[in-house]
Amino acid sequence: MNTALASAMIEELARSGVSRAVVSPGSRSTPLAVALWRQPEIDVTISVDERSAGFFALGAAQASRLPVVLVCTSGTAAANYHPAVAEADLSAVPLIVVTADRPPELRDIGAGQTIDQIKLYGSSVRWFCEVGVHDADDAGLLHFRATACRAFAAASGDPRPGPVHLNVPLRDPLAPVPVDEAVSARTRLALEGRAEHPLSEVLPADAGLSADASRNVADLISQSRRTMILAGRNATDSLRGPATAFASAAGVPILAEPTSQLRCGPHDRSLVVSAYDRIASGPDAELAPDLIVRVGEMPTSKALRTWLGSIDNLRQIVIDPGYGWNEPLRTADLLIRADATTTLEAMSTMVDGAPGHDFLERWMEADLTAAAEISNEVDEGRSPAGAVHRILSELHGDGSLVYTASSMAIRDQEHYVAGSGHDLRFLSNRGANGIDGLIASGIGAAAATGRPTTVITGDLGLQHDLGSLALLASSPVPVRVVVLNDDGGRIFSRLPQKQAMDAGEYEALMRTPTGLDFEAAARTFGAAYRRVSDPSMLPEAFAAGSVLIEIPIPD
């Protein structure tokens, strides 16, 4: 009975479009795991560590933009998925979390491996369903099929992509053993579904720019003389053409962080500004925009956000088809819930000449000056971390994927990586901004895309995800985990705490040096290891395939 019900659910997920799942094995989840393992259209990865499994699925889903299924047994196994679920929520990454559970009669009586799993992830999921205990009759099988279809739609974006939680209580027997009359369904629809198609499919609404929205956008553009495009995190390269076409038509600069996919690539980058973090640290009033057109999330740079937030009467158009509210400036005139590609294409037709030509020239000159300062800083050895990011950006070949940790890694990457023609894809977990789970996320993205991948993190980030080195050792795709080891939290040196606390307090409570032996850690999980004392040694280390590369970074 349980195998039939679970198989109906998994069959509908496969027909809806799921092609990847991660299973953390356990007894109570046996019917679900068996159903996934036997489903030919779904590639199953086994990860015994639920937190690693959660972030592997997160990375795979972020890279593929398709829902990935997570399955675990009952109890605290499900709780270990929560950090990945939180990131998926804030980053709009589609996950379908299927947790096995004890049936109602075994809850709250001291039965083993039982916790309250009802709405375990709170408001972090788009939809929660207590699937319930059912017979494998017509009603039960159709319920499992319909639930799977709804879960896929909710995770994919109905309207905003994100995680879904299905809690599945299962009674014994859990093993896939034949039981007479266990399956009592009689209708073909319940037993087989619709063969080539899911039972129920959700068709998205038209996501074009409405007439009213077009008028509002056109009014703002016509009133502006100093327009700027801000390009923040976007998981795909779909905006390269439309964004650069609008910038060219309007004669405006594009301030693009690496994760926008606009800083690097084969597209026209003549109007892309890379050194805005340095420029915004001491901005010229002549560079202040009067209108921002933002695609993707707000760039990471604190200097940029602080400066833009200080500009009086700054207008802002935010293109956000994902129905989020990523607006830290809290001053946006318009949040547009329409496809970004068609919106930018429509905006290109609204431009009448290039009234901001002088503004554009000032920005491009400022970018050249700031970029030269950054290059000198790196060449003179004043930024060892910056030198690593520069060399890494040159090592990545076309098609490579770069997965970068929060904290200093993402900030150094934004500041030091210059634009290039390499066709790279930059990903990060910047929803919750956590440093945990990054190794698993990068390996999951590599598995989902088949692209050679570089994971860039600090020593604390690696310590938070050491168990995922087991996934590195078995990765069929080359994954280089680059650890910039500054023996603690270097980012805290930028905060007031360093000046306000005595040295001992700061060292123990903020910097938290660990002295971890990363070579021993790699050896424990059967992963290759290289120590690189000078960034010039990186090309040789990269030739080792999947490898943990440790680079000491002086304070």
- Arithmetic mean of pLDDT, 456-479: 94
Range of the domain at 164: 2-170
* In a shared domain, residues 364 and 313: yes
Q: Where residue 500 falls among pLDDT bands split at 50, 70, 90?
A: confident
> Mean pLDDT over residues 171-184, rounded?
93
pLDDT category at 353 given cuts 50, 70, 90 is low
Residue 173: the pLDDT is: 93
Model pLDDT, residue 206: 66
370: pLDDT strictly greater than 60: yes
pLDDT tens by residue, 242-268: 999 999 999 999 999 999 999 999 999
**Both 348 and 496 in a single domain?**
no
Domain shared by 161 and 253, yes or no: no
The band of 496, judged by pLDDT with boundaries at 50, 70 and 90, is confident
Whole-model pTM: value is 0.94
End-to-end CA distance of the chain: 61
Q: Which of 347, 369, 391 lies at the terminal end of a domain, its last residue?
A: 369
* pLDDT at res. 494: 74
Pick the last residue of a domain from 170, 202, 231: 170
Task: Give the pLDDT score at 493.
Answer: 76
* 512 & 403 share domain: yes
Buried/exposed 495-531: b ≥16 CB within 10 Å, e otherwise: eeeeeeeeeeebeeebbeeeebebeebbeebebbbbe
Mean pLDDT on 422-429: 96
Least confident range from 44-53, 329-338, 490-499: namely: 490-499
Residue 13 has pLDDT above 60, yes or no: yes
Position 165 scores a pLDDT of: 98
Domain contains 528: yes
CATH number at residue 340: 3.40.50.1220
Which CATH number covers residue 421?
A: 3.40.50.970
pLDDT(361) > 70: yes
pLDDT for res 547: 96
Are 132 and 250 within one domain? no
Q: How confident is the model at residue 511 (pLDDT cuts 50, 70, 90)?
A: confident
∠ CA 550-491-372, rounded to 5°: 80
Same domain, 274 and 365: yes
Same domain, 280 and 343: yes
330's CB contacts (< 8 A; 6+ apart) are: none
Asked, for residue 525, whether it belongs to a domain, the answer is yes
Residue 254 maps to a domain: yes
Mean pLDDT value of segment 50-68: 98
Q: Is 43 helix (H, G, I), strand (E, B) or coil?
A: strand
Check residue 274 and give its pLDDT: 98
pLDDT at 207 over 80: no
* Confidence bin at 543 (pLDDT 50/70/90): confident
Residues 153, 6, single domain; the answer is: yes
215 and 329: one domain? yes
Q: What is the pLDDT of residues 317-343, one digit of tens each?
A: 999 998 999 899 889 999 999 999 999
Q: How many domains does the chain have?
A: 3
Residues 362 and 454 in one domain: no
Q: Within a domain: residue 196?
A: no
Would you state the pLDDT for residue 356? Answer: 63
Place of tokens 């905003």: 160
Mean pLDDT of the chain: 94
Confidence band of 529 (pLDDT split at 50, 70, 90): very high
Question: Does residue 393 share a domain with residue 362?
Answer: no
Q: Is residue 309 domain-resident?
A: yes
Q: Are residues 145 and 245 located together in one domain of the fold?
A: no
Answer whether residue 489 shows pLDDT above 60: yes
Find the range with the poorest average confidence among 133-147, 466-480, 484-498: 484-498
pLDDT the model gives residue 67: 98
- 72: which 2 tokens? 């675990």
Last residue of a domain, one of 118, 145, 170: 170
Cβ–Cβ < 8 Å for 92, 125: no
- pLDDT at residue 355 is higher than 70: no
CA distance 104 to 120: 16
Q: For position 221, what pLDDT does the model report?
A: 92
Percent of the chain with pLDDT over 70: 99
b/e per residue, 132-151, with b = 16+ CB within 10 A? ebbebbeebbbbbbbbbbbb
Q: Does residue 180 belong to any structural domain of this protein?
A: no
Give the model's pLDDT for residue 503. 83
Q: Is residue 449 part of a domain?
A: yes
State pLDDT tens for residues 121-157: 999 999 999 999 999 999 999 999 999 999 999 999 9
**123 domain-assigned:** yes
